[in-house]
Structure formats: structure tokens, C-alpha cells
Amino acid sequence: MSTTENFSTVLAELRDQLPADAVVDDPRALSVYQYDRSGHLSDTVPSAAVFPRTVEEVQHIARVCFHHRIPMVPRGAGTGLAGSAIGSTGEIMVCTDRMNQILQLQPENRLVTVQPGILNGELNTYLATQGFWWPPDPASKDISTVGGNISMNAGGLLCAKYGVTREAVLSLQVVLADGSLITVGHHTVKGVTGYDLCALLIGSEGTLGIIVEATLKIRPLTPGRSVTLGASFPTVTDAAEAASAVTRHGHTPAMMELLDDLTVALVTEHTGENFGSGNSFLLIQTDGPAAATEAEEIGAILTDHQAELTITDDPEESQRLVGIRRSVFPSLEAKGQLLVEDIAVPRSTMAEAFARIRDLEQASGIKIPTACHAGDGNLHPVFVVEGQDHGQNREVPEAIWDVAGQVFTMALELGGTLTGEHGVGVLKSRWLPDELGDVQYRLQQNIKAAFDPHNLMNPGKVFRPAPTA
């Protein structure tokens, strides 16, 4: 289908069972769906956006699209960093904005069932009033949806101790490309009936189906007072080695964040923050009943690695220290458009990863300030396109992609991965075969075909489109 006339039929069929305001085809309202927060912009404006409220409405949308072979792009809040949830002409955005209800809390089973469009932060605000929390903690948590977190298998600051999104989801309801509905996973702690399609769908970036309901594994609020350590180091190598040593000594702090020298300088420039005599910074938080003892032991390890140390259990001072980490991206965005990369490496190789990033800077003349979730070896090397405002979403210059490609290669050489938590989307699809190998790449494509034989679910994302003959 490609003619305007046929698309009018599609819109009419969609409107037939949806409220009037739930189908939008005004191009001026649709250009927002050409981009997410990755900086990438699709070539053309998607043809429509739909705003279902119920599972049945999503099924109706999928049936109409399936019948007419119209591709669908599921979209949450559009805060992704890989260009996964953006659309082009001929595609329909399936937006979960109106599916934002908390359906049921079962405190005694430590689970909550929600619609996909609820914001992570909003859910956690509610859960806190009930004595619970949901651990996934991406930087975007206040503005990103639970459905989006699940689609991308979102990470964040707390993963080494509390796991990624995959560990925090029990069950999903998913509408497949043909409009059929499946329930995957279990509402129980254990369950081994058939293949674990719940785990498969988490992180599948909208390419297998549309998540319409999620049952989440929640935790009781952590008891006790958390303790925060801020440590500045003479060099980034000292900081990275100190972080590795913390893990090696058997500690798993709730949070362990590393800022390299370039990042520290940019944060200082933007916020006026004083980092003391060092030029790199490590932020650590311990929690739970042993928080104080653990913080003390960690403090001793940091001091052994030349740290200048602050340690506090005062909530306000803790907040200030954590705020330094949260100010990293605003500080960088002030300099220009960002390409935020996302490699993960084995924790023992963090210092080497930083050293090799410095080598790449030297060779290319491009600066790469890097912040790192040091508890899990997840580095965010950032490329700043100066002279372009962040949010303008212009194409990243190919010279920067060249260096980014070398960063990915370095990560694979160290035994790591080209994306720790942001996903593949369109931004990294060209490197995916390098990591998966040809056999697994084809196998993954065949699995997609088993779910979606006509390639209607978010086509062209994760896997590169086959070259047209």
C-alpha cells in the first residue's frame, strides 16, 4: 500500500472503533515522532499516530494495520537514546500515552500490574506511599514510561545491586502484529512452562509486539539510612582502579558512579561545583541495614587509591552529592548536541577502557568526556557536536561516527558489548552483526519472523533493512 487513497481507508477503519481524538494525521502534530532523545531524526514524517486507551483498542489498531500491511511503531514517552521509537512516512505510531493506569497492587505478592504508558517516576511515587519501589532507574525515570523501560530493558544507576529491568518484570500482555493477544511470564516467583518469552520481549525494542500490560516485581523500601561517599582522585585511572577494587573486595554498593577528568571539568564549568584537588570523581552510595559498615570499609579502599574523601549519611548532603552525577548531561548539553554512547566492559577492564578512550581522543582530536556506571562497567563516552544545540536533532557528523565505531570495537575487544542499556535502534544497527556474528544475527531475524512474518512491528530497527534489489 502506498497511495494516499488507500491510507484514507486505513484511517477510516481505525476511526471506526476509536474515539475521534485518538487518531491523528496532521503532519504538523506528527513531526515530533521523527525523533527521540538520541539526536537522530527520521527522514520523513510518520503518516499517523494513534492513542489507544485499552487492550481491545490496540488489538483493533493491529488488525487494521495487519490487514493493510501498515508498519506500526510502538512509542512511550520518546526519551530513548537509540532511535528505536521514531517513525517515517507509511508508518503509524502506536502511542501509549493514554494507557497510563496502575491496575492492581498486590503487596502480599510484591507485584503491581500497570498499563505501559505510566511514567516510571509516577509509579515509584505511588509505590513509596505503599512501602515499595520498582528498581529500574534510568536517568530518564521521571519522564520515561514503564513500557518504554521494558522495551529497552532499561538500566540506570542501581543495576549492579538491584538488577536491570529484565529482573524486575514478572509478566507481560502483548498484542502481536496480527492483533492477537498473548500473556507471557508468570505472576509467581518461579515458573518454567515453555520458553521464557517474557525475557525475550524485554529489550526487544518494539520489534516483536506491543506491550499493553505489565506485571512488575516490586521490593519493600530498603530499611535504614543510606550513606553516600564522594571521592576525588588524581587521575581517572586511580578512580577506575578504586572502583574495580571495591567490587573485588566483595562490596556491591547500591550506586557507584565515575566521572572522568573531562566530565569533571565540564560539570565545574556549568555548575561551579568544587571537586577538591582531584580531577576525577567517584560517587558511591550504600544502603540497607549494613550501610554504615559497608561505607566505612569502602572508604578505606578508596583512601588506599589516593582518594580525597567525603562521607555522609545526612540526606541533604547525600542528595547534593548524587546531584553532581545527575548534572552531568545538562552540563554537557550546554556545550552542544550530544551523541551519548553506551558500551559495557568487564569491570576489571574499566581502567583500560578509559586509557583506550584517551588514545582515541589523541588520534582523532575529538574530545570524549565519559561518565561510567562503575559498579557494572557501563561507560557512557559522550561526543559533543559543538555549534549545534542539543534538541536540534541534526545528523551526527560521520567523523564522529567513525570514532564511535572505534569505541565499539574497543568494547568488543575487551570482552564487552556495544550497548549496555540504551539499545540498538537505528543508531547501532550497523554494528550489531559484529557483536552477534552471522549465525546468531540470522537466527534473531528468524525469531522476529516467527512473531511477525510480514515485518510490520517497528521494521528497520535493531536489524538493518535488507538492501532493496
Residues 330-359 close enough to bind a second copy by CB under 8 A? 344-348
Shortest distance, position 51 Cβ to a second copy, whole Å:
25
Per CB under 8 A, the segment of 50-58, 134-142, 321-329, 424-432 that binds a second copy is: 424-432
Per CB under 8 A, 313 contacts a second copy? no
Give the chain as a 3 state SS string.
CCCHHHHHHHHHHHHHCCCHHHEECCHHHHHHHHECCCCCECCCCCCEEECCCCHHHHHHHHHHHHHHCCCEEEECCCCCCCCCCCCCCCCEEEECCCCCCEEEEEHHHCEEEECCCCEHHHHHHHHHHCCEECCCECCCCCCCEHHHHHHHCCCECCHHHHCCHHHHEEEEEEECCCCCEEEEECCCCCCCCCCCHHHHHCCCCCCCCEEEEEEEECEECCCCCCEEEEEEECCHHHHHHHHHHHHHCCCCCCEEEEECHHHHHHHHHHHCCCCCCCCEEEEEEECCCCHHHHHHHHHHHHHHCCCEEEEECCHHHHHHHHHHHHCHHHHHHCCEEEEECCEECCHHHHHHHHHHHHHHHHHHCCCCCEEEECCCCEEEEEEEEECCCCCCCCCCCHHHHHHHHHHHHHHHHCCCECCCCCCCCCCCCCCHHHHHHHHHHHHHHHHHHHHCCCCCECCCCCCCCCCCC
Nearer to a second copy, 278 or 375 (CB): 375
**Contact flag: residue 106 with a second copy (CB under 8 A):** yes
56 binds a second copy per the rule CB under 8 A: no
Answer yes or no whether residue 130 interacts with a second copy by CB under 8 A: no
Q: Does 409 bind a second copy (CB under 8 A)?
A: no
According to the binding rule CB under 8 A, does residue 440 interact with a second copy?
yes
Binding positions for a second copy, 284-303, rule CB under 8 A: 288-290, 293
Least CB distance to a second copy at residue 454 (A): 14
Stretch that binds a second copy, among 56-64, 163-171, 262-270, 273-281 (CB under 8 A): 163-171
Query: Which lies closer to a second copy via its Cβ, residue 12 or residue 449?
Result: 449
Residue 243 as a binder of a second copy (CB under 8 A): the answer is: no
The residue count for binding a second copy (CB under 8 A) is 89
Q: Which of residues 377-396 bind a second copy (CB under 8 A)?
A: 377-378
**Residue 11 or 199 with smaller CB distance to a second copy:** 199
Name which of residues 447 to 466 contact a second copy (CB under 8 A). 447-451, 462
For residue 153, the minimal CB distance to a second copy (Å) is 5
Residues 175-234, interacting with a second copy (CB under 8 A): 176, 180-184, 186-197, 199-200, 202-204, 208, 220-221, 223
Q: List the one residue from 102, 320, 444, 464 that touches a second copy (CB under 8 A).
A: 444
Q: Which is nearer to a second copy, 7 or 132 (CB)?
A: 132
Would you count residue 419 as binding a second copy (CB under 8 A)? yes
